[in-house]
Structure 1
């Protein structure tokens, strides 16, 4: 009797240990019985679902490694291991992966520091759970992030944006961040997606693994540097090309005759049309800052205004010359002689007899032929043959001198028109070349 008690006690102890071990095995290994007949049994995962509020580790001194990846199409991919989930695929009708509602699993609180908007990920997402406990969670989310844009070179600008992934709940003692994919893989995937949508072109992605110290807590973080470049084709076609056509037409309008009454109205029409063009295209320009293209438009508008002012000035000179021409100052007369006939240093005898008024229009090379604005009066010999008195002869000389003065002022107006047109072309070419050089840099 006494010898039989120990064997009974050993049997009881053995059963107790077996029950404990069996319970431990149910905690970490999914029971697949019945999967081949009724499909996946939710009760088999209930023990794992009940622990979703806790970090899935056996030893809490060991941090959880979470690997992240993303594409610029706004998909965030997170991968980590859950040691509480495992099953034998051979015993579970060769099931290697399952989709489980993300609400039933522990999820790392990884977010983007630069995000300015609320999380707009669709609710009820699922996660992929593999037989070895690896969980892959893809969360499509649209991120409106802070990115300091330098729009000075718009629309040929290049921007550098930063995306920082971090957890403010788990320190480095609890969670470490890693990379699920290499940076070049992320870059290639994002570049293939961006090529078919949007106005930006991906140049490259770089990363840096940093630590952030908040008080006495240290948090792990991964920072991605994204370099993008704007596709300028839309803005070149809709902004730069029409503006270039208008400014070219304004320059060609200088070839209209200065005496023509249509030059000034034509330039006014161009100026109004350019203002309407700027108002219509204002929505395509950045809402903040002063890009170089705005300076370009302002200078084009200024050139058109200066062109109109030049036309008004020349029209005023021609009107003054044909109605009541003032005496031409000697310095202006000398300048006109120097510009039109630089080989002659002093006037001839016939010019001195003409009171130093200068050359006739036919003797002034390089200028436009003036329009005959004063009726031809008879010369002194014709007046003597007709029996005109001396008073009439003096009046005819005065008329001849006035006609010559009108011709000089008309030639001066044409010379100023040519000079201002050349200055206009030089200024326009200088400013356009400067803008192109700045855009290329």
Structure 2
């Protein structure tokens, strides 16, 4: 039992206020753990309220938050009879006159900046209830691979500097669901992060031969991705979609490559402007996505340059097409004709309508010679045969160039869609 030595005489508290002299014995013993038997550990119940998530530093792996820490324990040096003092069951005292448990957060990297001159409630049974605000910067293992759709799990471990399990035991003052609900209701800032859940674990901490009691809280938070979707993903998606639609421009017109060059320049400027929104450390998936989009646009530009260069060479200096390539072009043309099912009257002859390039001239008859009636054209003229065969050779090369352009366009769309699906699956995993 407590004994009468630690019973405070509260007579007159309801008329004349608290007499400091009656608490002199308590203030003298404030430097000692308030127990009558030192073999009995002090039970300290703790809880906290997460009132704000101030900052998450991905580069330094730090979480800055604001907490209201609540601690409750029993001081066996204080007690009074409330019937003797008008029913007063609780008074407030400055914490400078009381023994306080040295509870700290293990992950914290800053010195506790709790304001001085705080007070605590003292009940007639000696129960102390102490609340203090804390701005805490803690180490947190941040995984930014799924940025901006990432979720983080940071740990707040409460323990004692000095007291082992023989001197101090930690418990819960509130249920876990109360802590979560109070924190969600108290958080008023609609910032970048939102609170998902808080879980608890109670492992012991062994340091050498000493064993310390501790309570570990796992705080799960989620980033609000709206800002990054609007400023990063949507503009990038629009630019890559316009780049894909640029394949509809005629390859022989020569306007596709400059258009793609302009898009590539605009995408590079976009990445430079949005660089401040990306995490400064690590390689998030969104950076891989941007690099992939930039690579696709570069490959698309190179493909347009290749097709434009090929058409230019064909229109100026057509060379004979290899036999295997000529056979492949004929088969492709026949398959295309069968799939299109053109009316017979629209296609005269088996070959498709020849495609003419701006720089390619039609064959002209020889100057100063006209076939007379009854006479046939001269045979065996190599220059005449060459002039007749040049448009046919150029037409075959043009068909091959357009078929290659179509194939590369579908390959580009296939790779772009598969890459986009892969990125979305990894984001949602």
Please indicate the TM-score interval, normalised by the length of the shorter structure.
Answer: 0.7 to 0.9
SS in 2 for 1:421: helix
2:283 corresponding residue in structure 1: 290
- Residues 1:155 and 1:90: Cα distance change in structure 2 (over 3 Å): same
Aligned to 1:43: 21
Paired with 2:306 and 2:18, the residues of 1 have a C-alpha distance of 91
Q: Number of paired residues?
A: 401
Among 371, 377, 380, the alignment partner of 1:384 is 371
5 Å-filtered alignment, 1:28-427, equals 28-73=6-51, 74-194=67-187, 196-342=189-335, 363-364=351-352, 369-371=355-357, 373-378=359-364, 383-385=370-372, 395-427=383-415
CA-CA distance at 1:184 after TM superposition: 1.6
In 1, are the aligned partners of 2:363 and 2:391 still within 8 Å (CA)? no
TM-superposed CA distance for 1:215, in Å, is: 2.6
Distance 1:221 1:332 in 2: 77
Per-residue deviation, residues 238-295 of structure 1 (Å, max 9, x unmatched)? 2111111111011111111112333222211211211121122222222221111111
Cα separation, 2, equivalents of 1:216 and 1:361: 98
Larger relative CO (CA 8 A, sep 6+): 1 or 2? Answer: 2
Say which is worse superposed, 210-219 or 299-308, in terms of deviation.
210-219
Q: Distance in 2 between matches of 1:211 and 1:233?
A: 41
**1:36 Cα shift?**
4.2
CA contact (8 A) 2:355 2:395 kept: no
1:436 is displaced (CA, Å) by 1.0
CA shift digits 1:86-127 (9 cap, x unpaired) = 233343344333332222211101111111222222232222
* Max Rg structure: 1
Q: Is the 8 A contact 2:316 2:359 kept in 1?
A: no
Indicate the structure with greater strand content: 2
Q: Distance in 1 between matches of 2:408 and 2:143?
A: 37
Higher helix share: 1
Moved more, 298-307 or 109-118: 109-118
TM norm structure 2: 0.85
Distance, in Å, in 1 between the alignment partners of 2:382 and 2:376 is: 10
TM-score with structure 1 length normalisation?
A: 0.83
CA separation of 1:385 and 1:252: change in aligned 2, threshold 3 A: farther
For 1:144, what is the secondary structure of its paired residue?
strand
Instruction: Structure 1: give runs of 5+ residues left out of the alignment.
Output: 1-23, 345-358
Q: C-alpha separation between the residues in 2 aligned to 1:343 and 1:103?
A: 92
Other-structure match for 1:10: none
Q: In structure 1, what is the Cα distance between the partners aligned to 2:228 and 2:69?
A: 32
SS at match of 1:141: strand
Q: Indicate if the aligned counterparts of 1:361 and 1:411 stay in contact, CA closer than 8 A.
A: no
> Gaps spanning 5+ residues in structure 2: where?
52-66, 338-346
